[in-house]
C-alpha cells in the first residue's frame, strides 16, 4: 500500500537517477513530493489575441495551425521545427528546437492554447519560441493555473507535475484520514487535508487556490503551535514555590506615581502565575518608558514576602547599577535585603553576597550575566527576572532556568514584538503587554531631514547644549568602509520604482571627529560594539554623569540606560535601520523633564520613494506595536531576530514555514495558536486525538511521546 511515507521510487518512471535528482531538493518520499509546493503559478486563463499580447511577459493565446510543420536540420546535428498559426488579429511563426516529433502533433486546422512570450517579427508579424501547447476545442475546460516549481538540474516542471499526478492517484486508492480534529476544521472553514494538498498543485479557480493555501497555512501554524504547547505543558512540572504573599499596596505606597491600568493588569497576571505550584514562564513587553520595571519589582516583592529569593539579571553593569539604585531603596522600605553583583564588585564583597545567597540571608540580587557564570547558589530560589530579553537569547535563558529549577521566570523586553512573531520567538512564554504609557510621559517630536539640513541641524544641536541638554548621535557603522557594491534587493528588482542609490555610511569613529570640529567647546565621545566591555561601561557612566555632551554611537546604546538629561536623538543614515530599531533609539530620549526630539537624517540630498515612505511611519507613529507590525511587513522578521552585530543576539531555531508568511498570515498564526493551546488544555496527552498525536510525533522526530 502506498502512503506518504513511501519512497519516491514507487512512482511509475521514477528510478534511481530521478530519485537522486529529487534528493537534491530534499524530496525522498511521496509526502516530501506533495509538500514541494509551487513557488508560483502561470495564469493561463486570461486569453489574449496576438495584437493584445503582453510585451513584458508570457501570454495565453488560442491559435489555429495554418501551415504544415517543417523540420530544418542544422550542421550541428540539431534541428528546429517551424509552422505558422493565426487568430483574427494576426499570424505568428512558431519555432520548436530539437522536437521533431511535434511534426505529427500540429496538423493544419487544429487549435491549441499556446503559452509563452510573443515577440514582434517584421512589420506586422509575430513569433513564439517553444511555447507550451495544449489542444483546445470549443467548450473545453483547460486548467487556468499552471504550477511553477523550484527545480534542480535533471528535473523539469512537467516531470514534477506528472509525478504528482501519479502520487495523488496512488494515494486515492487508500486515502488517509485527516489528523486535524473535525471541530477545528469546521470552525475555521478549512478543507480536508487531501483536498487542500491536491488543489494547491492543481487549482481550477482563484477561490480554490486561496482556500487550499489558507487551509495549509493554518495547518503549518497549528502543527508548530501544538508541538510548542505540548512541550511547554510537559516542561512545567509541579513543585514551584507558591508565592502568594505580599500586598501590592504595601509596595505602591512608596511609589511617586499611580500604576496605569496596563501595569495593574500585567501585575495581576504575574501574581496569578506565582500563586501556583507550576513555574511561571512569562514575558513582559512594552515600549521604552511604559513601566515594565515596576511590574518586575512587584514580582520580586511577591517572592520575598513569601520567603523566597529573587534574582534580576540585565545585560550591562551600568544598567544593573541603575536598577539597583532605583530598587534597593524601595525594597529597603519594605524590609527586603538587596545586593548588587557585577564584574566590578570587589572580591570580598562578592564572597559575602554569595555566602548570604547560599544561606538565605540575602533576599534579592541584581546583576549581570555574572549571575550565570560565577559560583552563585540560592538557598530558596523563587523568582528569576531577565531584563532586555532580546539581548540574551534562548541559550542563556535556558542556562538561567537550569540554575534555578522550578523557580518562576519573568523576562522583559523593550522591543514591541508583533504577536505572530512573538509566538515563534517566544512561544514557550506567556505574553503580557504593557500597552499604556504613564501619565506625564512626554512625546518625543520626530523630524525627517536630508543632508541639505545639516547646518540647521548643527544649530539645533547647539541650542540643546546651551539649554543644558545632552545629545545622542547614532551611526550605522563603526569605521569607514569601502563603497558598497551596487546591490539590489529582491524587492527592488520587482518594484516598479527605480532602485534607490545607497548613500555612504556615516561611521561613529570618524563622525565623532567631525562633530568635535563642528562643536569645539563640546565634550564629544564615541561608543561602539567593538570596544571592550569595560571601555563601553566607562563611556556610558561619563555620559550619564554629565561629563559628555555629545555621544556618537552605534546601536549599542539601544540597551535601556536611563539618561534623563538627554534631549536630542539624531540617527544618521536612518534609511539603513529597521523601524523597530529606530523606535528603540527614539526611546532613549524624553526620559526626563526636558522637551525632547528625534531627528532622522537620510544620507541623501533628497528623500524619495520607499525611504520617504518608511521614515514617514516613524514621523507620524508613536505606537510601538503599530511600528513593529509595519516593520514586519516591510522588512520581514530579520530586524527582530538581530544580525549578530553590536551586541544583538540572533535567535536560533526559528521555524521556516513552507507556505506561511509571518507578516501576511499573522491572523492565522494567532488562530492556530489559540486552537492548539485550547486543545492541549482539554487533552494534554492527545489521548482523544490519536491520529493527531501520531502526526505531530512524526513531524517532531520523537520529542513528543
636-653 burial string, b = 16+ CB within 10 Å, else e?
bbebbbbeeebbbbebee
pLDDT of residue 135: 94
The owner of cell 503549518 is 220
pLDDT of residue 371: 80
For residue 497, pLDDT beyond 60: no
**What is the band of 132 on the pLDDT scale with cuts at 50, 70, 90?**
very high
More confident residue, 560 or 166: 166
pLDDT of residue 642: 44
Helix (H) or strand (E) holding 517: helix 508-518
More confident residue, 505 or 323: 323
pLDDT of residue 420: 63
Structural contact between residues 445 and 264, judged by C-beta atoms closer than 8 angstroms: no
Averaged pLDDT for residues 45-66: 91
For residue 83, pLDDT beyond 90: yes
What are the distances in angstroms from CA 122 to CA 93, 125, 595?
11, 6, 70
More confident residue, 597 or 510: 597
The owner of cell 513593529 is 628
Q: What single string gives the DSSP state of each residue in 478-511? A: SS--PPPP----HHHHT-SSPPPPPPPPPBHHHH
Written as nine digits, the cell of 440 is 506625564
**What is the band of 598 on the pLDDT scale with cuts at 50, 70, 90?**
very high
Averaged pLDDT for residues 123-141: 89
**What is the band of 481 on the pLDDT scale with cuts at 50, 70, 90?**
very low
Taken in order of first residue, the domains within the chain and their CATH numbers are 45-142 (2.40.50.140), 248-434 (3.40.50.300), 445-481+499-621 (3.40.50.300)
Helix (H) or strand (E) holding 23: helix 16-24
For residue 441, pLDDT beyond 80: no
Question: Using one digit for the tens of pLDDT, what is the confidence trace for 186-201?
Answer: 999 999 999 999 999 9
Handedness of CA 459, 463, 466, 469 (dihedral sign): negative
CB atoms within 10 A of CB 332: 12
pLDDT of residue 606: 63
Could you give the CA distance from residue 406 to residue 240 in angstroms, rounded to a whole number? 5
pLDDT of residue 635: 61
Question: Using one digit for the tens of pLDDT, what is the confidence trace for 685-701?
Answer: 899 999 998 888 877 65
Averaged pLDDT for residues 458-478: 91
Could you give the CA distance from residue 113 to residue 122 in angstroms, rounded to a whole number? 24
pLDDT of residue 427: 66
Could you give the CA distance from residue 292 to residue 282 in angstroms, rounded to a whole number? 13
User: What share of the chain in percent tops pLDDT 70?
Assistant: 84
The overall average pLDDT reported for the chain is 84
Closest CA to 470 of 597, 555, 582, 559: 597
As beta bridge partners, residue 73 has 79
Amino acid at each position: 500500500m502506498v502512503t506518504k511515507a513511501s519512497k519516491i521510487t514507487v512512482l511509475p518512471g521514477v528510478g534511481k537517477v530521478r530519485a537522486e535528482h529529487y534528493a537534491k531538493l530534499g524530496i525522498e518520499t511521496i509526502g516530501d513530493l506533495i509538500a514541494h509546493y509551487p513557488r508560483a503559478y502561470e495564469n493561463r486563463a486570461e486569453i489574449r489575441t496576438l495584437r493584445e499580447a503582453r510585451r513584458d511577459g508570457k501570454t495565453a493565446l488560442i491559435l489555429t495551425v495554418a501551415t504544415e510543420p517543417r523540420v530544418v536540420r542544422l550542421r550541428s546535428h540539431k534541428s528546429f521545427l517551424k509552422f505558422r498559426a493565426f487568430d483574427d488579429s494576426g499570424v505568428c511563426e512558431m519555432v520548436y528546437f530539437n522536437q521533431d516529433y511535434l511534426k505529427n502533433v500540429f496538423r493544419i486546422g487544429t487549435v491549441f492554447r499556446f503559452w509563452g512570450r510573443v515577440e514582434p517579427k517584421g512589420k506586422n508579424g509575430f513569433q513564439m519560441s517553444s511555447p507550451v501547447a495544449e489542444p483546445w476545442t470549443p467548450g473545453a475546460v483547460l486548467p487556468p493555473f499552471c504550477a511553477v516549481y523550484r527545480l534542480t538540474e535533471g528535473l523539469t516542471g512537467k516531470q514534477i507535475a506528472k509525478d504528482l499526478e501519479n502520487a495523488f492517484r496512488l494515494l486515492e486508492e487508500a486515502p488517509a484520514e485527516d489528523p486535524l480534529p473535525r471541530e477545528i476544521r469546521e470552525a475555521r472553514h478549512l478543507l480536508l487535508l487531501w483536498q487542500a494538498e491536491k488543489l494547491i498543485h492543481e487549482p481550477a479557480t482563484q477561490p480554490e487556490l486561496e482556500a487550499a493555501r489558507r487551509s495549509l497555512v493554518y495547518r503549518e501554524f497549528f502543527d508548530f503551535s501544538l508541538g510548542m504547547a505540548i512541550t511547554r505543558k510537559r516542561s512545567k512540572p509541579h513543585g514551584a514555590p507558591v508565592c502568594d504573599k505580599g500586598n501590592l499596596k504595601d509596595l505602591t505606597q512608596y511609589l511617586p506615581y499611580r500604576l496605569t491600568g496596563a501595569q495593574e493588569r500585567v501585575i495581576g497576571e504575574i501574581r496569578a502565575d506565582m500563586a501556583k505550584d507550576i513555574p511561571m514562564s512569562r514575558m513582559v513587553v512594552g515600549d521604552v518608558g511604559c513601566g515594565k520595571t515596576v511590574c518586575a519589582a512587584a514580582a520580586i516583592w511577591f517572592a520575598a514576602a513569601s520567603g523566597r529569593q529573587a534574582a534580576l539579571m540585565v545585560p550591562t553593569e551600568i544598567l544593573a547599577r541603575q536598577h539597583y539604585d532605583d530598587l534597593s531603596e524601595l525594597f529597603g522600605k519594605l524590609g527586603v535585603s538587596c545586593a548588587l553583583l557585577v564584574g566590578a564588585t570587589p572580591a570580598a564583597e562578592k564572597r559575602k553576597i554569595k555566602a548570604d545567597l547560599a544561606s538565605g540571608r540575602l533576599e534579592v540580587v541584581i546583576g549581570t550575566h555574572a549571575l550565570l557564570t560565577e559560583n552563585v547558589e540560592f538557598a530558596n530560589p523563587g523568582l528569576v527576572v531577565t531584563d532586555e530579553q532580546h539581548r540574551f537569547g534562548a541559550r542563556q535563558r535556558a542556562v538561567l532556568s537550569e540554575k534555578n529549577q522550578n523557580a518562576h521566570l519573568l523576562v522583559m523586553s523593550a522591543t514591541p514584538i508583533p504577536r505572530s512573531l512573538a509566538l515563534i520567538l517566544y512561544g514557550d512564554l506567556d505574553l503580557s503587554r504593557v500597552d499604556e504609557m504613564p501619565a506625564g510621559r512626554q512625546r518625543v517630536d520626530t523630524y525627517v531631514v536630508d543632508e541639505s539640513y545639516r547646518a540647521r541641524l548643527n544649530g539645533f544641536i547647539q541650542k540643546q547644549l546651551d539649554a543644558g541638554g545632552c545629545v545622542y548621535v547614532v551611526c550605522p557603522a563603526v569605521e569607514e568602509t569601502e563603497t558598497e557594491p551596487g546591490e539590489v534587493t529582491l524587492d527592488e528588482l520587482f518594484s516598479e520604482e527605480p532602485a534607490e542609490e545607497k548613500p555612504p555610511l556615516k561611521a561613529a569613529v570618524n563622525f565623532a571627529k567631525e562633530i568635535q570640529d563642528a562643536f569645539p567647546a563640546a565634550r564629544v565621545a564615541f561608543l561602539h560594539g567593538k570596544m571592550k566591555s569595560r571601555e563601553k561601561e566607562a563611556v556610558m557612566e561619563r555620559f550619564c554623569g554629565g561629563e559628555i555632551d555629545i555621544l556618537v554611537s552605534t546601536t549599542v546604546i539601544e540597551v535601556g540606560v536611563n539618561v534623563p538629561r538627554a534631549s536630542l536623538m539624531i540617527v544618521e543614515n536612518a534609511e539603513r535601520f529597521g523601524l523597530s530599531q529606530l523606535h528603540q533609539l527614539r526611546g532613549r530620549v524624553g526620559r526626563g523633564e526636558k522637551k525632547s526630539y528625534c531627528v532622522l537624517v537620510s544620507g541623501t540630498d533628497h528623500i524619495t520613494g520607499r525611504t520617504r515612505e518608511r521614515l514617514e511611519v516613524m514621523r507620524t507613529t508613536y505606537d510601538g506595536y503599530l511600528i513593529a507590525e509595519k516593520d514586519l511587513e516591510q522588512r520581514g522578521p530579520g530586524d527582530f531576530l538581530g544580525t549578530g552585530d553590536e551586541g544583538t543576539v540572533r535567535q536560533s531555531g526559528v521555524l521556516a514555514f513552507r507556505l506561511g508568511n509571518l507578516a501576511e498570515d499573522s491572523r492565522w498564526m494567532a488562530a492556530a495558536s489559540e486552537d492548539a493551546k485550547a486543545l492541549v488544555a482539554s487533552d494534554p496527552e492527545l489521548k482523544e486525538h490519536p491520529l493527531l498525536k501520531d502526526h505531530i510525533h512524526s513531524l517532531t522526530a520523537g520529542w513528543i511521546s
